[in-house]
Amino acid sequence: MEFLKELGIADKNLGTSTGSNWINTTGSVINSYSPVDGNLIGSVVETDKAGYEEVIQSAAAAFIEWRTWPAPKRGEIVRQIGEALRAKKSALGQLVSYEMGKSLQEGLGEVQEMIDICDFAVGLSRQLYGLSMHSERPGHRMYEQWHPLGIVGVISAFNFPVAVWAWNSMLAWVCGDVCIWKPSEKVPLCSIACQNIVNEVFTRNLVPEGVSTIVNGGRELGEWLASDTRIPLISATGSTRMGKAVGAAVGARLGKSILELGGNNAIIISSEADLDMALIGAVFGAVGTAGQRCTSTRRLIIHDSVYDAFRDKLVNAYNQLRIGDPLDQHNHVGPLIDRDAVRQYQESIEKCKQEGGNFIVEGGVLEGDGYESGCYVKPCIAEVKNHFAIVQHETFAPILYLIRYSNIDEAISFQNDVPQGLSSAIMTLNLREAEQFLSQAGSDCGIANVNIGTSGAEIGGAFGGEKETGGGRESGSDAWKAYMRRQTNTINYTHKLPLAQGIKFDI
């Protein structure tokens, strides 16, 4: 495949990099099979302990120099990365689609997110502002400034194999940090491609070796990162179970963490919604990336008066979905990431039926021509109660739950009554309902939308959620502050030394 050659992906790849230097390690081999057709794309050698130590030492040495580069100069490097990504957008988008299984449009969209965050970070490099404050003591000046933390560990998930790394690394780099990236072992080749792109830019600009590093491996490698006192910040994206383990390990050493964990996202369909517009948001949110986004729509909370009409629209739309090769842009839905995900999908359907769920669009695994990988499933819809145990759980698959409500207070209560708190939405033309949904008594999620779905966040806003979603924030707004340490400074330019609070101390 031409896009593999363009991105420098070989049949066998080293998975450990201190930058432009790829390290031979003695780790096991990770084989990357495409969920699209089941074919082996390539292999990556895992990072062993010696390779990990070499990466850490390289990153620590690079930080000493990198932090002294002026932030706008670091921003210029990120600008060039954005240009390099523009040149490789088609190839990288195809790799994302083929290795992960999302549609080509979504693969290209993910690369566009990388480009967008580069643009954002370039501007940010001239806006790392601190505040100035008035001192209570005469002849004193107070202000705060922000300094880089050091090494940032980035643990990313399979469903966004490149964008989440970019959200973290581009901001961290303009802030003066260096990054160690541990991608999901399910999509390791995407990390090799990204490192190859970055290496070209860094080499051309004499960026210190170690500013961008990669380690590949499984759970044990993540544990090394989380427990390493030399890494002041860990940004981890994945399941709530994984996040609790990472958070506990980082917290035990008083490190900092950014946790982007599970979602159980709902759209409220009001009696005053534009049902045609709501249909687009609901269907894309539920079946986009085959339901494997942390912002995927899991629940539709629908008003009694429009329930039947909207249910019928959904069933009709689902009957028109085309499931197949995600690189074929005629298809709406690609495969799940692997057969383990298929098994979990089947188990979730069975649990839902056992609790009394009524499937109005049946699920199932697809077989035959074009489905040889065994990873293609049917998006399905079940009528349920919000308190069902399976509904309270995040199912990473295209299973959509329908729930009735009778008034807006009940709808918001249903929306909030799950352990997760990432994304939420309401479809309504009623201003009062919209404002109540966005108020202190409304959605308890980190993201709350009106008349758009739960999925598809823009990089300008801070991304993240509350409760079991972890509380972290990435990407836009002032999320950059998580990658830096705040320092308060007071300067006395007088000939006296008055103490704060009027304290007297005479010698």
SS3 222: helix
* Cα dihedral 380, 382, 388, 391 in deg (nearest 10): 40
In the chain, % of residues over pLDDT 90 = 98
Burial of 165 (0-12, 13-18, 19+ CB in 10 A): buried
**473, two tokens:** 């924030």
Predicted pLDDT at 507 = 80
| Closest by Cα among 49, 118, 127, 51 to 86 | 118
Burial of 498 (0-12, 13-18, 19+ CB in 10 A): middle
Residue 426 has pLDDT above 90, yes or no: yes
Predicted pLDDT at 456 = 85
Q: How many residues in total does the chain contain?
A: 507
Positions annotated as catalytic residues are: 260
In this prediction, residue 171 has a pLDDT band, given cuts at 50, 70 and 90, of very high
| Ranges of each domain in the chain | 2-23+30-261+470-487, 265-450
Within 408-469, strands assigned E span: 420-421, 423-427, 447-450, 462-463, 466-467
- pLDDT tens-digit readout, 467-506: 999 999 999 999 999 999 999 999 999 999 999 998 998 8
Predicted pLDDT at 47 = 98
- In whole angstroms, give the CA distance from residue 283 to residue 280: 5
Predicted pLDDT at 457 = 86
Are the C-beta atoms of 194 and 165 separated by less than 8 Å?
yes
In this prediction, residue 32 has a pLDDT band, given cuts at 50, 70 and 90, of very high
Predicted pLDDT at 30 = 98
- pLDDT tens-digit readout, 284-317: 999 999 999 999 999 999 999 999 999 999 999 9
CATH topology for 265-450? Aldehyde Dehydrogenase; Chain A, domain 2 (3.40.309)
For residue 206, the 8-state DSSP code is T
Neighbours of 177 (CB within 10 A): 25
- pLDDT tens-digit readout, 366-393: 999 999 999 999 999 999 999 999 999 9
Residue 143 has pLDDT above 90, yes or no: yes
Are the C-beta atoms of 35 and 336 separated by less than 8 Å?
yes
| Closest by Cα among 500, 456, 462 to 478 | 462
Predicted pLDDT at 215 = 98
Q: Which CATH number fits domain 2-23+30-261+470-487: 1.20.120.530, 2.40.50.140, 3.40.720.10, 3.40.605.10?
A: 3.40.605.10
